[in-house]
Amino acid sequence: MESEMEDLNSKPPEPRPPESAEHDGATAKDDRPLLKPEAVGVSIESLQDMEKKFAAYVRSDVYGPMGCGELPLVEKVLLAVACVTLVPIRVIVGMSLLVFYYFICWICTLFSSPNRDGEQEDYAHMEGWRRAVIVSCGRFLARVLLFVFGFYWIRETYGNPEASQDKPSSPNEEEGKDQSEHPERPGAIVSNHVSYLDILYHLSSSFPSFVAKRSVAKLPLVGLISKCLGCVYVQRESKSSDFKGVAGVVTERIREAHQNGSAPIMMLFPEGTTTNGDYILPFKTGAFLARAPVRPVILRYPYRRFSPAWDSISGPRHVIFLLCQFTNHMEVTWLPVYNPSQQEKDNPKLYADNVRRLMSREGNLIMSDIGLAEKRIYHAALNGLFSQY
C-alpha cells in the first residue's frame, strides 16, 4: 500500500530474539513441519542460509514456508471442520458487509462530485452528515469484519509519553521536550506492516486515508470505498516521473491533516511491504517529507497455529487458512505523537530513522536492512522449491 519512495540506508543493530508474544493463551512458537529439501534437490544448509538471509519473511507457524508444510493429523481435521462450517459463514457475512458499506458510500456520494487533483479523485473532503455517516459506518463495519475473521478481542496499549522524545542529543533537544508537553495533531499515522488485516484495524480505529495502487480505484465495490477513504493512488510499475506527483500529494495531505482538524489523517506503512511481524525494515521517507508530527503504531499478531502475517505465502492460500482459524489475536501499541526536532525536519532520513528505532525499541522488533527486492528474491526461491505442491 505504500508508494515507492526513497529507502533509508541505516545500519541495523545486532539482531535480538523477540519476546514471546502471549495474549489470551496465544503464543508464537516455531513448530513448523519438517522440510524435505532432498525431495527437490536442495540441501538443508542452503535452506538454512536462505532463511537467515531473509529472516524477516520466514514463516514460523505449523503450516510451514508458503503454507505448504506437511500438517499433523489434528490440524488437518480442524481445517476440514472449519472449511465446512466457519469458511462459508465468514465469506457470506464478509461479502454482505462489503456490499452493505458500498451502498452506504454510494448513497452518501450520490449527486456529489469528487475532489480531483490530476489523476487523484476522492470524496474524503466531503463535509456534513454524508461524511459523518461514511466515517462512523466505516469504522463500525471494519471492526465487525475483524470480529467475523476471528479477532474477537484486540488488545490495545499506549506507550510511555516520554518515549517519543528519547532522541539522539542535538542542539534542538530541549525544544523537542517542550513540544512534548503540548503535542500537536499528527499529520500521519505510521505503522509497521504485517498483513492486509492492518488496514482493517486502522479503518476501525481512526479511518485514515491510505496510499493504494491506482488499479484499486477501478475495482468493483472497493473502488468507491477507496475514494471515500481519500486514498492516494500510485502506479508502482510505472517508471515515469509520477514519483514527484505522488510524493507531493502525500506531503500536501499530511500537512493539511496536521493543520486542519477536520481533514482526514494519512495512514502510511513506511516499510513498503509486509514482514513476518518480528522485524522492522528500513523506512521510506514519504511520511516524513512534510516535516509534520506523526503517530507511530506497532501491530503484533500472536498465534498458536497459523500466523496472520502475510510474508511468504500466496494471497488465496493465506485467506483460506485465515478463515479456517477459530480464533485470531491482535495486539496494538499506540506510541505518543512524535514531534520532530528542527534537525529531523531538515533531514527526512534522520526523522524516519529515529521513528523506526523508537518503534523497534518499544515494540521489541528486530531491525533488518533488507526490503521489497529481497522479498521478491526469497519468494522466487520458495516458488521454485515448492513448485511441485
**Confidence band, pLDDT 50/70/90 cuts, at residue 332:** very high
**Domain residue extents for the chain:** 44-160+185-387
Better-predicted residue by pLDDT, 255 or 114? 255
The predicted-structure confidence for 55-105, as pLDDT tens digits, reads as follows 999 988 888 888 887 888 999 999 999 999 999 999 999 999 999 999 999
Measured distance CA(134)–CA(130) in Å, rounded: 6
Residue 176 reports pLDDT greater than 80: no
Average pLDDT, stretch 304-314? 90
Q: Compute how many other C-beta atoms are within 10 angstroms of the C-beta atom of residue 185.
A: 15
Instruction: Tell me the average pLDDT of the chain.
Output: 81
Give the Å distances, CA to CA, from 118 to 122, 246, 251, 264: 11, 10, 15, 19
Measured distance CA(357)–CA(354) in Å, rounded: 5
Residue 389 reports pLDDT greater than 80: no
Average pLDDT, stretch 275-279? 94
Give the rounded distance of the alpha carbon of 295 from its chain centre: 14
**Confidence band, pLDDT 50/70/90 cuts, at residue 320:** very high
pTM for the predicted model, two decimal places: 0.81
**Residue 109: predicted pLDDT:** 92
**Confidence band, pLDDT 50/70/90 cuts, at residue 333:** very high
Give the Å distances, CA to CA, from 50 to 57, 275, 319, 354, 366: 10, 16, 26, 29, 18
Burial class (CB in 10 A: 0-12, 13-18, 19+), 181: exposed
Dig out the grid coordinates for 139 from the structure: 469504522
Better-predicted residue by pLDDT, 161 or 53? 53
**Is residue 284 within 8 Å of residue 269, measured between CB atoms?**
no
**Residue 1: predicted pLDDT:** 45
**Confidence band, pLDDT 50/70/90 cuts, at residue 237:** low
**Is residue 15 within 8 Å of residue 364, measured between CB atoms?**
no
188-191 and 294-300 beta bridge pairing:
parallel
**Residue 87: predicted pLDDT:** 96
Q: Which residues of 50-59 are buried (b: 16+ CB within 10 A; e: fewer)?
A: bbeebbbbbb
Average pLDDT, stretch 130-157? 95
**Confidence band, pLDDT 50/70/90 cuts, at residue 22:** very low
Average pLDDT, stretch 320-338? 95
**Residue 244: predicted pLDDT:** 52
**Residue 113: predicted pLDDT:** 81
The predicted-structure confidence for 337-387, as pLDDT tens digits, reads as follows 999 999 999 999 999 999 999 999 999 999 999 998 899 888 888 877 665
Lowest mean pLDDT among 121-125, 138-142, 203-207: 121-125
Farthest CA pair distance, the chain: 64
**Confidence band, pLDDT 50/70/90 cuts, at residue 46:** low
3-state secondary structure string across 264-302: CCEEECCCCCCCCCCEECCCCCHHHCCCCCEEEEEEECC
**Residue 180: predicted pLDDT:** 43
**Residue 236: predicted pLDDT:** 58
Better-predicted residue by pLDDT, 164 or 112? 112
**Residue 245: predicted pLDDT:** 67
Give percent of the chain with pLDDT exceeding 90: 53
Amino acid (1-letter code) at residue 220: P
Residue 13 reports pLDDT greater than 70: no
